[in-house]
Structure formats: C-alpha cells, structure tokens
Structure 1
C-alpha cells in the first residue's frame, strides 16, 4: 500500500513538472511570436491606410522596407511600420513612404523624438514646401543643422513651420532661409508658434502688405519685388531696410518697422534687423545649404555608445523573432481558423440541443465531484 502511495506521489510530481514545463514552453513561444504578431498587425494597418491589395508588390516592398530598416538601425521593424502608417494617413503614396523612412529615422534619433512625431513634422514640411518624398534627407539635414546651431529644438521648428511654411513656399522663400530665420529668432526667445505667426505676418506684409506698409517701404525707396513681380529673398530685403533705417532715432525707427511688419511681427522684424542677428542669418543660411548628411551623422554619433549598441541588438533580435513568426504564420493561422470552425460548430450544436448540453453538464459536474471526493 505504501509502495502504491509513493508511486502515486512520484507520478503526481512528474505530472506537475511536465505541466510547469509545458506552461513555460507555451509562455516562451507566445513571447517569441508576440512581436511578429504585433508587426503583422501594424502592417495590416499600413495596408488598410494605403488601400493596397494583400498581393500588391508595393505592400511587399513596404514590408521589406520596415524589416530592412528595423534590422539595420536603432528602430525595430514595428516602429518603422508605425512611421509608415503615419505617412499613409498623411496621404503619401506607398513609393513615397519608402523613400522617406530612412531620413525619418535619422531625424527622429537626431531630434530625440519618436518616429511618429518625426514623420508628422517631416510630412508637413514636405507637403507645405511642395518637396518630393526623396528630399526627406534634405529636410532632416536642414532641421538638424538649425537646432544644433540655435536655441531651438525639433518640436519648436515643427510648430514654427506649421504656420509659416505655406506662405514661405508661395513666396519662393526656401526651406533653408525659412529654417534659418526661425533659428535666429529662437536665439532671442521668439520660438515655436510665436515665431511661425510672426514670420508669416512679416513675409505676407513684405510681399503684399496693407497701404501703411507699402507707404513706409515707398518712403524708404525699397522695392520688395523684382522686375518679374516675385518677392526678393528675405536677406536682401532685410539688408536694405537695415541700411535705410540704421541712422534713425529708435522711436521713429520702431514706428516704421511696426508699420511695415505689423504689431504681432514687429519684435521679430526688429530682431532680424539687428546687425549681429542679420549676419548670423546669412551665415546660417550658407551653412544649411552645405550640410548634406548632417542628420545621419548626428544620429550615428548619438548611437555610438553602449545604449545604442543594445538598442541595435534589440532591433536585430526583433527582426529575428519576426522572421520566426513569418515562417510559422500560415500554419498557425490555419490552425486558428480550424479551431474557430470547430468552436462555431460546437456553439451551434449547443444552441440547437440545449437538453443534451444540460445533461452533459450534469454528468461532467458529477464526475468532477467524484474525482474531488476520491482525491
């Protein structure tokens, strides 16, 4: 009798260990597959937002783009896919999304912001200035070149551009000139939406201001347009205004500047007309026109440490887990679909035969009671 009890305890112990091992293996498998499932879900969202058929080669290219960047950069494939989804929401074509993503990752890392926000800022600027998606690297270089040389950051520049970019594009003011003005204004504390609002008003009034502005400019013998009727570049106009007003009394000069730029932009206009600030503006524009690759270089510098190494390792590990998931995905989906059909059949049977199900429940309850009583 004692031998039988000992054998029973041994069997129970082995059973418990097997259950624990199976549970651990199931949990590990679930963890291994979960990242692939998340990536797959995000790519389904990208597919829905881009309105692509599941067999469309462009969807396969988007997926390959997310995996390639996820395996070789600081971001994991799911994060890249989330950035793709944001561009899709902004109305970008699939091929344009692919062109934009590498520059977006550099911008996000260099600007210390998440990928979705980098995509938001980048897409707004590309659209507002009418730039091709392939110029995302240029956008990143200009923004990074600005906030690393002035008292601004990515969020501030993004807010500024949201207000001034459409007007700047309409008047032929380049992204380099616009960003440089935002940076110089940032040095004197005029930042973000305040800078954007002031620059928008100033450029609008210099191009086609009210009678008061035109009267003051005429009195100063300053023509803000060229022979073709296009607005001159901002630096040329600012230089002329500075030359014509530098010897005036401060009260008279401020009154003229306020009449030209308007009340809300007067302080920004006056700041840009400070000789030192105007020199800084000229130098910054020149630097931004010759800083190709700065965003990528800064992103690499920021990742050149143990934390960056770990982050890249995690991205590579994520890519590996996604590859494992993709190998097993079709089989798992078929299994889940088969189980769903079985459960639906059982559910239908239960609804159609309530008496049989009730009796089976009684039998199961009785068996459980007997099992509990016998141990």
Structure 2
C-alpha cells in the first residue's frame, strides 16, 4: 500500500502481523489502501498521464479486493461462531449475518470495478498482457491470500437461512447469493457427471472453482460453466483443474465467452497433442496473436480448426501456425478462408502433387531438413520469396498456384 509524503507515494504491503489481524486491523489496511489510491490518483491527474492513472487504479483495486476478501472471511468466521454459540435465530447472529452479506456485496462490487478499469486500461494502452493485470491468481504475492479465500463463499445457503428473520429488505440481497449457490451446486454436479468424477475428485473440482471464483474476475458459477465445456471435451478431473487458469486468462484477454474460449482452447490442445497442464502456453500464444493482428480469438480458432491437423502432421508448431494466422489476418484472409489456404499449402508441401513438386524442383526449394522433417514454415516462405524476387508478377502467381493450389492461391 502507499501513503503520500510530499509528492511521493510510499508503499505499504498487505500486513499479516498480529496488530492488523481481525476485522478492525483489516479495516485499517483498507483505509490505507484508499489513501494510496487517492494519493496516486492526485499525482497522475496533475501530470495528465491517463495510462499511469488507470494502472495505479488497477493496482489499488486489486489490493482492496484482496483485503475485502479477508474481511469477508473474518465476518464468515464470526457468523459461524455466533451461530454455534447463540443459535441462528439470535438477534446478534442475525446482525452479523447482515454484515457478512454486506461484506460479500462490497467484495463483488470491487471485482466488477477492477474488471471495468482493466478494460479501460487495455483499450488505452493496447497492453498485450492484459490477463495478468486482472488475474491476481497469477501474481506471486497473492498466493497466500488465495489459499485463505478458498472458503470465502462456502455455506452460503446456511447464511441465507439465518437472514430470513431479518425481513424482506434484508433478505433480498442474500436471496441472490442463495440462488447463485444452488445454481453453482447444480453446475458442479453436471461437471462431476461429465468427468465421471469420484467424491474426492468432485471436492477438488469444487475447491478449484471456489478458489478461481474468489481471486479472478469470474464468479464461481462461471468457472463451473467453463469446467463443463472442458469435461464435455473429454477432460478428466486433473486435466480440468490444470487447464482452468489458462482458459480464464484467454477468455479475459480476448473478452470472449467462456464456452467459446473453452471450445477453441480444448480443440487446439487436442490437435497439437498439448497437455492440459500447458494450457497457459496456448493462452499466451492466442493472446499475443489477437493483440498483434487483425484477428479475433474466434477467427483464430476457426483457422486452427482447419489447418491444425495438417500442421501437426507436417511438424509445424502451434506457435508457427498462429504466426501465419495473424499475418494472413492482417491481409484480410481470416477464419475458415485462412484455414483452408494453410491446410492446402502445408499438405502440398509435405506430400507434393505433380504441380507442386515441379515448382519445388524449379526453385530448388529445401522443404525438409536432413532428418526428413519439414523445415519451419517461415524458412520455406523465405526461400520462395528469395527465389522468385526476379520473377514477373505472372510468374509469381503461377508458382503460388502450383505450390498452394487454386483455392489456396490468395493465402
């Protein structure tokens, strides 16, 4: 965190010492967090640096979100203790239940605010690592916090029951929480059925969904929905757990629906025989491609759907194919059109029919290395460019047609 001293902003970390433990200590930390945001905001407003202003707001909101998560946990523990000692109908217990409900609402609002500011920052800066700014789960300094937040929303149904005696107005807020909890349980039951999970595996999936729902911009219900799509793609429990962080990062960076993202990511993992635990690799490649080209995630996925099997057979990596996808998108060739062109070209280079073989011989292209493996696509394209640089436009078109085929000519 930070406190203003003159024109400086002094950082103060999230404190776990005895002095700052408990609700009152966390409230002191929240006041410090608010002070930091105000001080940093004042400095960057005066300098007119909107990017720095938004960045400081993201950092401040992320810290406040973590502190508020601990406040929710403290209120939860106090409510549970009062319920055990005095009963759920006791007035003091009901007052604490209201406080817990209010704390949960503040936590959720902070999450939405963080998501909105991060989107504004991405729009302004064109940042290619936007997922990392939103997902505190990927930050090393949040790992201990994440462990404590796993159980933040556990037993929401019990809290709802405790609040029913407060009255209609008080019960309205928790009603949505209870409904969400019931929906979450239903979603997780479906995940377990699709993944054929045991009771222990179901518990692990639920813990993961709760954890990611507490420390990312997504709710636990949305995480459960994403898990369903992976389970439908044939993923087992450990694979789902390993793949979810990367899946959420990709969806956040591309601002795409979780279901659509899950389909795209799982298809790419399957087509290139990539392990589910390496989903972050796919996330990084997809994020880089759609932030550095004129292609949306859905369009990249469509291209991959057509071209990935041929690329895998030819020994072309996912990264190479993604690069080719982005380059073609910048020339207006996208989605299935790009996929068809790449599939045809790769297939004809790997197992050339007569016209392609004739062009390869004419140009003296080296398509494979000494082991018989296809050379990198960039290397082959570079050779073609170099060999045909003195050709007329008509001759270049002829060579392209021979190598790629009539339908893939433009690609």
| Pair in the same fold by TM > 0.5 | yes
Which of 83, 103, 125 is the matching residue for 2:268?
Answer: 125
Task: Tell me whether 181-190 or 251-260 shows the greater mean CA deviation.
Answer: 251-260
The answer as to 2:323 corresponding to 1:177 is no
What SS does the aligned partner of 1:155 have? helix
What SS does the aligned partner of 2:410 have? helix
Question: What is the distance in 1 between the residues matched to 2:315 and 2:395?
Answer: 31
The answer as to 2:176 corresponding to 1:31 is yes
- For residues 139-158 of structure 1, the aligned pairs below 5 Å read 139-158=282-301
Match of 1:61 in 2: 204
Q: Shift of residue 227 of structure 1? A: 2.6
What SS does the aligned partner of 1:267 have? coil
Q: Deviations over 1:16-50 (max 9, x none)?
A: xxx99866677666434111100000001011101
The answer as to 2:355 corresponding to 1:212 is yes
Question: What is the distance in 2 between the residues matched to 1:210 and 1:98?
Answer: 45
Q: Deviations over 1:148-189 (max 9, x none)?
A: 111111111111111111111111111111000000001110
What SS does the aligned partner of 1:227 have? coil
Q: Shift of residue 209 of structure 1? A: 2.0
Residues 32 and 260 (structure 1), Cα distance of their counterparts in 2 relative to 1, 3 Å cut: closer
The RMSD of aligned alpha carbons is: 1.8
The answer as to 2:219 corresponding to 1:76 is yes
Q: Shift of residue 223 of structure 1? A: 3.0
The answer as to 2:230 corresponding to 1:87 is yes
Question: What are the ranges of 5 or more consecutive residues in structure 1 without an aligned counterpart?
Answer: 1-18, 269-375
Residues 77 and 221 (structure 1), Cα distance of their counterparts in 2 relative to 1, 3 Å cut: same
Which of 201, 206, 209 is the matching residue for 2:344?
Answer: 201
Question: What is the distance in 2 between the residues matched to 1:220 and 1:31?
Answer: 68
Q: Shift of residue 228 of structure 1? A: 2.2
Residues 27 and 241 (structure 1), Cα distance of their counterparts in 2 relative to 1, 3 Å cut: closer
Match of 1:43 in 2: 188
The answer as to 2:398 corresponding to 1:255 is yes
Question: What is the distance in 2 between the residues matched to 1:75 and 1:32?
Answer: 15
Residues 75 and 20 (structure 1), Cα distance of their counterparts in 2 relative to 1, 3 Å cut: closer
Question: What is the distance in 2 between the residues matched to 1:214 and 1:99?
Answer: 44
Residues 60 and 227 (structure 1), Cα distance of their counterparts in 2 relative to 1, 3 Å cut: same
Question: What is the distance in 1 between the residues matched to 2:382 and 2:287?
Answer: 26
What SS does the aligned partner of 1:189 have? coil
Match of 1:330 in 2: none
Q: Shift of residue 267 of structure 1? A: 1.2
Q: Deviations over 1:42-73 (max 9, x none)?
A: 001011101123x2x22111100000000011
Q: Deviations over 1:322-373 (max 9, x none)?
A: xxxxxxxxxxxxxxxxxxxxxxxxxxxxxxxxxxxxxxxxxxxxxxxxxxxx
Q: Shift of residue 252 of structure 1? A: 1.6
Question: What is the distance in 1 between the residues matched to 2:344 and 2:299?
Answer: 18
Which of 363, 388, 392 is the matching residue for 1:245?
Answer: 388
What is the TM-score of this pair, normalised by structure 1?
0.63
The structure with the larger Rg is 1
Question: What is the distance in 1 between the residues matched to 2:165 and 2:274?
Answer: 58
Question: What are the ranges of 5 or more consecutive residues in structure 2 without an aligned counterpart?
Answer: 1-163
Q: Shift of residue 249 of structure 1? A: 1.2
Q: Shift of residue 108 of structure 1? A: 0.5
Residues 21 and 52 (structure 1), Cα distance of their counterparts in 2 relative to 1, 3 Å cut: closer
Question: What is the distance in 2 between the residues matched to 1:41 and 1:60?
Answer: 14
Question: What is the distance in 2 between the residues matched to 1:91 and 1:125?
Answer: 14
Count of residues in Structure 1 that have an aligned counterpart in Structure 2: 248
Residues 148 and 31 (structure 1), Cα distance of their counterparts in 2 relative to 1, 3 Å cut: closer
Question: What is the distance in 2 between the residues matched to 1:217 and 1:263?
Answer: 16
